[in-house]
Chain A
């Protein structure tokens, strides 16, 4: 079963992240790099990606001529997806364990990474008798 573990961050999350003290920043980056390696060694990693800052994001729709029309991001958006892992595991419990471990990434006192766990729709259809 595949699960997506999403690292959501609040609107100001990127700003906060940019301002992390050096030691904390190094610890955080080191944790993320090692965590992905560990998931791969465990034979569980499908993908791990971080996303570029939301200030670089665009909202896109097709214009009248079918060409893309891009907008800046809605300012009222509260949360952004900062990155995600996709893992292939035997069940939801294992996905929660991995998410719990991910949430221990070093951050300043009072900040905790909360991980949203969603199952990927890769399950088998059953014969409908």
Chain B
């Protein structure tokens, strides 16, 4: 995120080091809330001092030292406070003998442990996202607040409350055991996916901070991928992000209007990202176990590999959505499945699949059901019905670019 005005190399290094320094601090001081504040202060100190006085020889040690100094101050004032309040210097956990300075192999585990903590299931999505970006992503509260368009004070409180909830939940700073790990990893991937979407769906006119969220999500997912290189869902999520982000530039017109997939200028898709995404998606599928992200990545790969929209292998996409429907109870998947069916068997087949969805409470009032119906009705030549459905969708969406797109489609049928 650019507003620090920092050399991108310093910026990158700081964000890389943030979870390592925090992990080491938490293992040493066992106080997540205070350590997270101390590391944040150390990062801010670095952004102020490094450009002015030059980079330290060992940036990681520098950050550790500053964070440790802050923590020592904190521990001292904590002990003083407790003595004042209780007259009992019950500071045993704080007085634990310092652990040796973080052996290298622990750094990787630290990042994972922090992610598991920050994406704790007790937190709301919004809180987990904010905390992950700060504690693991090394972003400042101000940067996160800007990205989510809320005041810094509000974001600060959201982060503090999230940290307090983690402390209250007494989740240990340790890797979850094997039974729990899959579920907790699922929560981590979900949070990273949400961060990605926040950035990806930001419209062109939005601040850089918002669109940079997708880069940040990709960076963090790469880090998870480096730590868990054989997990097919991590492969799948990283592939999905790359294959989706590859289309970002083609997805909005210069004036910010949305460009649907079949009208995008495919020469503007990022080939490097597509190649990497396809390789990851294929590797994941070869490992056998099939998960949601892998399937979404496989579908994105089929789109990305088609030189022209009319070359899209819709039968394969239809089959993939069929599998996805069996493993994920998600009404949006049912909608996408209907779209794929319409591409293979014609708009009537798609419309038939939509019929039962009108009784689904999750979808009945959702703009996306109306939008898909509108597209299929238009293709079926039912102009008036399509027009009404485009308008019904426009009335229900909460995205301005999407509303404008739907209204333009309606106006074109008028």
Contact = CB atoms under 8 A, between A and B. Distances in A.
A125 B257 CA distance: 11
A40 B198 contact: no
Interface string A53-97: 000000000000000000000000000000000001110000000
Nearest to A47: B151
B402 interface: yes
A6 interface: no
B106 to A, nearest CB: 32
A43 B398 contact: no
A125 B368 contact: no
Interface stretch (B23-31, B39-47, B154-162): B154-162
A119 interface: yes
Given A41-B157, A88-B126, A123-B397, A129 B261 contact: yes
Contact of B154 (A44, A119, A120, A129): A44
A124 interface: yes
Nearest to A91: B124
Contacts of A89: 126
A39 B284 CA distance: 44
A127 interface: yes
A27 interface: no
Contacts of B150: 45-46, 88
Interface string B370-403: 0100010000000000000000000001111111
A42 interface: yes
B400 A121 contact: yes
A90 B154 contact: no
B399 A121 contact: yes
B154 A88 contact: yes
Interface string B38-65: 0000000000000000000000000000
A1 interface: yes
Grouping DSSP codes into helix (H, G, I), strand (E, B) and loop, the B interface class, with mixed when no group exceeds half, is: helix
A122 interface: yes
B201 interface: yes
Contact of A43 (B155, B198, B261, B339): B155
A33 interface: no
A121 to B, nearest CB: 5
A127 B401 CA distance: 11
Nearest to A41: B157
A2 B151 CA distance: 13
A128 interface: yes
B151 A45 contact: yes
A43 B127 contact: yes
Nearest to A126: B368
Which bracket fits the contact residues of A?
20 to 34
B153 interface: yes
Interface in A1-26: 1-2
Most chain-B Cβ atoms within 10 A of its Cβ — which of A46, A47, A128?
A128
Nearest to B336: A129
Most chain-A Cβ atoms within 10 A of its Cβ — which of B157, B258, B336?
B157
B125 A119 contact: no
A118 to B, nearest CB: 10
A1 B148 CA distance: 10
A124 B400 CA distance: 9
Contacts of A41: 157
Interface string B149-190: 111011101111100000000000000000000000000000
A42 B148 contact: no
A123 B402 CA distance: 9
Nearest to B161: A43
Contacts of A45: 150-151, 153-154
Contacts of B124: 90
Given A129-B261, A129-B336, A124 B157 contact: no
Contacts of B198: 124
Interface string A86-111: 00111000000000000000000000
Contacts of A120: 398
Contacts of A90: 124-126
Nearest to B409: A128
Given A121-B397, A121-B399, A125-B399, 17 more contacts: A1-B398, A40-B151, A40-B154, A42-B157, A43-B161, A44-B154, A45-B153, A88-B150, A89-B126, A123-B399, A124-B202, A125-B258, A126-B399, A127-B244, A128-B258, A128-B405, A129-B339
Closest 10 CB pairs of A and B: A43-B158, A123-B398, A124-B201, A125-B402, A125-B399, A43-B157, A128-B260, A123-B399, A125-B401, A121-B400
Interface of B: 124-127, 148-151, 153-155, 157-161, 197-198, 201-203, 244, 251, 258, 260-261, 336, 339, 368, 371, 375, 397-403, 405
